[in-house]
Structure 1
């Protein structure tokens, strides 16, 4: 285990869920999934859930995936936060 991984309560590799929110568009879910797929091997069918806000202006995309390391998880968070359409990440 690296020193960086010792600084977290999580044990890697592990299954993880992330939620990204942004303005509703035709491709927001594809953007989020595409970013995550740059850092993980695959995302299982049924592991992506999309929900629009009550007014329809915003969409949340929840993705469950298997992550190998804290570094990869940090890279996912960073890449999502850098995208102009992603407004919030949980």
Structure 2
């Protein structure tokens, strides 16, 4: 196996900042996550593209996944977005 230091950086691959990224939060269906996820992202200073918001319920309706695109200036803000969503008690996972 190669060491990470031996791998050449390949420009054009991976996340490029600033950029627009999709984030998905999965959690309890009764938690109004469609609105709450947008609020959390806006509270940390990110711009959500409202037309991109999608919601999908689990087969038994207990959980919901909410996906949306947001504009992100840096990797730090991207990581902050995931951390802020995961800190919410009704959100179980983010992708």
Same fold per TM (> 0.5)? yes
Equivalence for 2:18: 13
5+ residue gaps, structure 1: 1-7
Question: Which structure: greater strand fraction?
Answer: 2
State TM-score, norm by structure 1: 0.82
Alpha-carbon distance between aligned partners in 1 of 2:18 and 2:76, rounded to the nearest angstrom: 11
The answer on whether the counterparts of 2:26 and 2:65 sit within 8 Å (CA) in structure 1 is: yes
Larger Cα Rg: Structure 1 or Structure 2?
2
Any unmatched runs of 5+ in structure 2? 1-12
What's the CA shift string for 1:32-64, capped at 9, x where partnerless? 111111234432231110111111000000011
Aligned-residue Cα RMSD (Å) equals: 1.9
Q: Which has the higher contact order (CA 8 A, sep 6+)?
A: 1
TM-score using structure 2 length? 0.78
Size of the aligned set, in residue pairs, is: 84
